């Protein structure tokens, strides 16, 4: 572990373009999941810090930011993207240390963050209004306008990617943002704020208040000065956020995870499918909202798929983030307890295979051996609840109708994939699967920043990523001129 990469003071908040002490002067320990040590102290922001941040954002909406043209805004976002690229290795090391994710996966997140800023920088001047043919003597047109102050409450699993997709899109539309990163991982959020400052983002346009969810998070989501809230995290907190937003009558985007299935038919290209079947379950130690935790396999190829997945599981190496193995630790001792609790609930099931925690993994790290369960009934808790750890279940099915009914048989609906060579089946299932994204003969499509993303059911609502996000992060005004 090395703190040399932290070029800013992580115990401060970033408000109004400056690094400031939290008003109450309190801090929290930031843990390293790979060895359980404390990396540094971070600010324990609270109500007053959030008040200051919202006020700074509001002020920024009356400053140079408001007068900037869309191409000028876009150019600043692109410049932030370039600085992210220039610092990608440092950001990757910060994220690996803070989140525990293997270095290569952390680097991919840094590159994705740069790509989000490029994409939204380029998109800033491309969302146009319409003219509407209307009554004689009228000219009617629509204007896309920012909401104003947007609140962003993000989790610890993909800080850089989630900052890119939510803050990037919000800024592209001319909003000002207040970001509350997760207590358990906030180094790259603070680093990003400093890079944005270096790129010339006007003061107050982006503010970061670290702290506890129940304090800084609750203060932000309940704040009467916040005009839109974007939240990624658990279903329980998502419900709270939506309830609080109802008090202020503001829109919310909720991204709450899933129980995403992959459907493997007898005619599938199993060689092509195998790496996706396993990686989609163990990437970032399974702590991925779009993780694929259910593998549904038609009976004709069930044994082959299970055996070959099990062989891959047997090869999975688990260890510290900096060792850059297949799987890192979980984020915290608490998350490890939750995941081990789920694995214990599978005691009566067939444990088809497990990965290995390397022998020199530090004792204090939060390691869990990836576990593959077979012979799981679709209603079992392991096949219904989001585990958020490296655990997958393999479920057999007879025909397409049964596969669809199992796939759609949870309360979630985030992502799904179909492995089959039959085009008509691909089209039928793409329509019938309850999910915000469906992949045909792949899973995740490389994570593309261009691809709109979001869920249905308990997975939440609203879309982030891609051009689509710009609609959510803006509001529409209709102008009707009567000129005769
Ligand atoms: P979480 O509690 O929902 O945390 C997400 C964010 O919300 C964090 O920034 C958190 O702050 C904040 N928060 C917590 N309570 C809040 C409140 N009352 N008001 C406003 N903000 C609040 O999620 P978690 O505890 O980190 O993880 C628990 C479970 O959530 C996981 O096991 C997983 O199932 C799910 N999860 C899903 C995703 C996803 O990508 N969909 C991501 C993470 C977790 P603090 O962390 O600082 O308290
Ligand atoms: Mg941490």
Q: Give pLDDT tens digits for 261-318.
A: 999 999 999 999 999 999 999 999 999 999 999 999 999 999 999 999 999 999 999 9
Q: Which residues have any ligand 1 atom within 6 Å of their CB?
A: 153-157, 180, 182-184, 212-214, 217-218, 221, 232-234, 237, 240, 255-257, 289, 338, 386, 388
Which residue among 255, 386, 400, 464 is the active-site one? Answer: 255
Pocket test for ligand 1, best of 213, 248, 436 (most atoms within 8 A of CB): 213
pLDDT, the chain, mean: 98
Pocket test for ligand 1, best of 155, 292, 459 (most atoms within 8 A of CB): 155
Q: What's the pTM value of the predicted model, to 2 decimals?
A: 0.97
Pocket test for ligand 1, best of 237, 342, 381 (most atoms within 8 A of CB): 237
Using one digit for the tens of pLDDT, what is the confidence trace for 221-238?
A: 999 999 999 999 999 999
Name the nearest CA neighbour of 250 among 224, 223, 228, 218: 228
Q: How far, in Å, CA of 91 to CA of 240, rounded? A: 32
Instruction: Write the residue with the smallest CA distance to atom 10 of ligand 1.
Output: 213
The half-sphere exposure of 275 on its side-chain side, counting CA atoms within 13 A, is 6
Using one digit for the tens of pLDDT, what is the confidence trace for 138-176?
A: 999 999 999 999 999 999 999 999 999 999 999 999 999
Using one digit for the tens of pLDDT, what is the confidence trace for 92-138?
A: 999 999 999 999 999 999 999 999 999 999 999 999 999 999 999 99
Contact (CB, 8 A) for 52 and 16: yes
List, in order of start, the domains of the chain with CATH numbers.
3-256+461-478 (3.40.605.10), 260-448 (3.40.309.10)
By the CB criterion, residues less than 5 angstroms from ion ligand 2 are 31, 98, 184-185
Q: Kindly give the pairing relationship between strand 292-298 and strand 260-264.
A: parallel
Cα torsion at 191, 195, 200, 201 (round to 10°)?
-50
Instruction: Write the residue with the smallest CA distance to atom 32 of ligand 1.
Output: 388
- Separation of CA 155 and ligand 1 centre (Å): 5
- Ligand 1 atom having least distance to the Cα of 220: 20
Q: Please list, in sequence order, all residues whose beta carbon lies within 8 angstroms of the beta carbon of residue 338, skipping any fewer than 6 positions away.
A: 387, 388, 389
SS (H, E, C) 52-83: HHHHHHHHHCCCHHHHCCHHHHHHHHHHHHHH
Q: How far, in Å, CA of 49 to CA of 24, rounded? A: 9
Count of C-beta atoms within a 10 Å radius of residue 421: 12
Ligand nearest to the CA of 388: 1
- Alpha helices by DSSP H, listed for 346-411, are 381-384, 400-407
- Per-residue model confidence (pLDDT) at position 277: 98
Rounded to 10°, the helix 88-99/70-86 angle is: 70
CA distances 21 to 15, 362, 393, Å, are 10, 33, 47
- Separation of CA 366 and ligand 2 centre (Å): 11
Longest CA–CA span in the chain (Å) reads 82
Name the nearest CA neighbour of 41 among 69, 14, 9: 9
Residue 2 pLDDT more than 80? no
Q: Give percent above pLDDT 90 in the chain.
A: 99
Q: Give percent above pLDDT 70 in the chain.
A: 100
- Ligand 1 atom having least distance to the Cα of 244: 19
Residue 379 pLDDT more than 70? yes
- Separation of CA 230 and ligand 1 centre (Å): 12
- Based on its alpha-carbon atoms, the radius of gyration of the chain, rounded to whole angstroms, reads 23
Using one digit for the tens of pLDDT, what is the confidence trace for 20-58?
A: 999 999 999 999 999 999 999 999 999 999 999 999 999
- Separation of CA 146 and ligand 2 centre (Å): 33
**Is 255 tagged catalytic?**
yes
Name the nearest CA neighbour of 439 among 469, 459, 462, 416: 416
Q: How far, in Å, CA of 159 to CA of 190, rounded? A: 11
Instruction: Write the residue with the smallest CA distance to atom 9 of ligand 1.
Output: 182
Residue 324 pLDDT more than 70? yes
Cα angle 346, 350, 355; round to 5? 85
Ligand nearest to the CA of 212: 1
- Per-residue model confidence (pLDDT) at position 1: 52
Count of C-beta atoms within a 10 Å radius of residue 86: 13
- Per-residue model confidence (pLDDT) at position 112: 98
Ligand nearest to the CA of 389: 1
Using one digit for the tens of pLDDT, what is the confidence trace for 397-448?
A: 999 999 999 999 999 999 999 999 999 999 999 999 999 999 999 999 989 9
Ligand nearest to the CA of 32: 2
DSSP 192-249: HHHHHHHTTPPTTSEEE----IIIIIHHHHT-TT--EEEEES-HHHHHHHHHHHHHHT
Q: Average pLDDT for residues 58-69, to the nearest whole number?
A: 98
Contact (CB, 8 A) for 57 and 207: yes
Contact (CB, 8 A) for 305 and 295: yes
Q: How far, in Å, CA of 245 to CA of 200, rounded? A: 32
Q: How far, in Å, CA of 359 to CA of 179, rounded? A: 39
């Amino acid at each position: 572990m090395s703190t040399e990469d932290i070029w800013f003071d992580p115990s401060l908040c970033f408000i109004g373009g400056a690094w400031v002490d939290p008003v109450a002067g309190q801090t929290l320990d930031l843990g390293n999941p790979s060895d359980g040590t404390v990396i540094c102290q971070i600010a324990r922001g609270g109500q007053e810090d959030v008040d200051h941040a919202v006020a700074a954002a509001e002020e920024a909406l009356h400053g140079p930011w408001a007068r900037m043209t869309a191409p000028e805004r876009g150019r600043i976002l692109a410049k932030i993207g370039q600085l992210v690229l220039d610092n990608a290795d440092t950001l990757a090391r910060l994220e690996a240390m803070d989140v525990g994710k293997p270095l290569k996966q952390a680097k991919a997140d840094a590159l994705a963050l740069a790509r989000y800023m490029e994409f939204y920088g380029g998109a800033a001047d491309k969302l146009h209004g319409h003219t509407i043919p209307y009554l004689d003597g009228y000219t009617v047109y629509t204007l896309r306008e920012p909401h104003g102050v947007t609140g962003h409450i993000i989790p610890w699993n993909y800080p850089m990617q989630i900052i890119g997709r939510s803050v990037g899109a919000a800024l592209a539309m001319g909003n000002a943002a207040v970001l509350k990163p997760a207590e358990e991982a906030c180094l790259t959020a603070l680093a990003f704020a400093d890079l944005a400052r270096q790129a010339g983002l006007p003061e107050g346009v982006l503010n970061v208040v670290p702290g506890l969810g129940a304090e800084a998070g609750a203060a932000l989501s309940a704040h009467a000065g916040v005009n839109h809230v974007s939240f990624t995290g658990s279903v329980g907190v998502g419900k709270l956020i939506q309830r609080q937003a109802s008090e202020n009558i503001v829109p919310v985007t909720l991204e709450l995870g899933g129980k995403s299935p992959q459907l493997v038919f007898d005619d599938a290209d199993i060689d092509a499918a195998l790496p996706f079947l396993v990686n989609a379950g163990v990437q970032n130690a399974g702590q991925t909202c779009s993780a694929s935790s259910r593998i549904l396999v038609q009976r004709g190829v069930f044994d082959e798929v299970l055996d070959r997945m099990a062989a891959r599981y047997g090869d999975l190496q688990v260890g510290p983030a900096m060792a850059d193995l297949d799987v890192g630790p979980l984020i915290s001792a608490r998350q490890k307890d939750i995941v081990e609790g789920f694995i214990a609930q599978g005691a009566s099931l067939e444990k088809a295979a497990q990965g290995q925690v390397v022998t020199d993994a530090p004792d204090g790290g939060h390691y869990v051996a990836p576990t593959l369960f077979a012979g799981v009934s679709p209603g079992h808790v392991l096949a219904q609840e989001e585990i958020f750890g490296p655990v997958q279940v393999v479920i057999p099915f007879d025909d397409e109708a049964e596969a669809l009914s199992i796939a759609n048989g949870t309360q979630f609906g985030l992502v799904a994939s179909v492995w089959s060579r039959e085009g008509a089946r691909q089209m039928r299932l793409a329509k019938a699967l309850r999910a915000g994204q469906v992949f045909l003969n792949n899973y995740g499509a490389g994570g593309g920043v261009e691809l709109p993303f979001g869920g249905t059911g308990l997975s939440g609502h609203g879309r982030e990523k891609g051009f689509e996000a710009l609609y959510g992060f803006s509001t529409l005004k209709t102008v009707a001129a009567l000129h005769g």
